[in-house]
A and B are shown apart, each in its own frame.
Chain A
Amino acid sequence: MRETDFELIDRFLGGDGAAFDELVRRRQREVYSLAYRMTRNAEDARDLSQEAFLQVYRNLDRFDRRASFSTWLYRIATNLCLNHLSRGSRPAAPALDQQPEVADRSAGSLERLEDKERQEALARAVETLPPRQRASLTLRVHHQLSHREIGEVLGVSEATAKVHYFHAVKALRAKLAHLRQGA
């Protein structure tokens, strides 16, 4: 049977380094995904997600388990991303080791191009959101956290977390209204 996060943490604190490796493997993609959506930069996302696990490694003996390990990890990763954004982020860079794009002339390519343009417009609009709104939106839509959990991650009340989320949607709605009008 698969070990729980707390069981892995107990094993790690008992001296088994492989337990930490397992914790990382389980969460590395979602942490990277969060960091990428916050920064829109693959290199920064890699560095921030590694830094998040580094902080977990340093502080696992002080984790009080009042929240789930997942919420605690999200809190660390989100705070790192928010600090990074407050220092001024680099422009978006292509994903690491990505394959180069080839022109698509197949059937349905125009529709795919329009989808691609809509996604790019969305990405640009998301980048203009205040960081906490961006975090609330990402954690709610892409990581399915509840508003209460998002509040714990951001260190705010559930109501404030909800407000951040609704404001984010409203702001995106205003910025992307032209897409709908052109449809």
Chain B
Amino acid sequence: MRCAEAEPILMELIDEGSPSSRREELLGHVQVCAACAAELSACRDLLTLVQADSVPEPSSRFWEEFLPSLKRRIEQEGSGRERRRAAWFAWVRSWLSWPRPLVAGVAVAAISVLIVVRLPGFVAVMGDRTKVPSPIGRFMGRGPEGQVPAGDLRGEDATSQSGEPMVVAGELIDDPSLLAAAIQRLPWAGEIADQVEDAWVRRPESDPRDWLNWLSEEDHQLLLARMRNFRWSPS
């Protein structure tokens, strides 16, 4: 076994939940390779440090108050719902106290406006299945006409050349976790960040620009539309 094969799976020797089919081979390699043995030792020390990371213990008063405070929130939420329901019924009753012809006229007018304004757009979307957003599109929203801006985050519009470092919003991206972290700061984009990260896992030697190729064209355009504040610039 070579170091290049051993290094990505060293953690499986420490992580008891990951039995490795190559465990014996890996152990044999670590016994003869000082670099991998040192890396394994460093990971063990790190996990020991992580395990020792303790949570500052709140006072006993904090725990005495935790359940009563939770129960107060439950009661407040229950009474809040009751108040909102009562207010809604009062609002409806106030309408019913108007003369009936007036109530009927207003209702007809409201429904007519709804049909005139909303139905054409609804019919167009139903008729054209290409405008049905992907799961990510539904989550992130689209423009008023269903369109997304043209452009390509993957390099055709970029000023950088292949081989140059990838810089996004002034930050050098040399690890997928940084790109994923930047994307995840956008509240809607956890799913895309996961896809980017998974792409790197499958091909860690790949160019970071390739990670974005794992997105569908539609998701890529949506990501571009939302990342308009990120600039593609050479290092």
B-binding residues in A (CB < 8 A):
21, 24-25, 28-29, 32-33, 36-37, 42, 46, 49-50, 53-54, 57, 82-83, 86-88, 94-98, 118-119, 122-123, 126, 128-133, 137, 140-142, 146-147, 156, 160, 162-167, 169-173, 176-177, 180
A-B contact count (CB 8 A): 126
- With contacts A28-B63, A28-B66 taken as known, whether A180 is within 8 angstroms of B42 at the C-beta atoms is yes
Selected contact of B77 from candidates A54, A131, A140, A147, CB within 8 Å: A54
The 10 closest A-B pairs by CB, nearest first: A95-B56, A97-B59, A86-B187, A130-B181, A33-B55, A36-B55, A50-B70, A130-B180, A166-B11, A163-B201
* CB-based contact B70/A160 at 8 Å: no
> Which residues of A sit under 8 angstroms from B197, Cβ to Cβ?
130, 163-164, 167
CB distance from B156 to the nearest CB of A (A): 28
One digit per residue, 1 when the CB lies within 8 angstroms of any chain A CB and 0 when it does not, for chain B 153-189 equals: 0000000000000000000000101001100111100
Q: What residues on A are CB-neighbors of B45 within 8 Å?
A: 180
Q: How far is the CB of B51 from chain A (nearest CB, A)?
A: 6
**Complex: how many Å from CA A137 to CA B46?**
12
Do the beta carbons of B198 and A160 come within 8 Å of each other? Answer: yes
Given the interface pairs A86-B184, A137-B50, the reply to whether A37 lies near B55 with Cβ below 8 Å is yes
Main secondary structure of the interface of A (DSSP, over half): helix
| B48-94 interface (Cβ within 8 A of A) | 49-53, 55-59, 61-63, 66-67, 69-71, 73-74, 77
Contact indicator A169/B67 (Cβ below 8 Å)? no
- CB distance A82 to B190 under 8 Å? yes
Contact A54 B43 (CB under 8 A): no
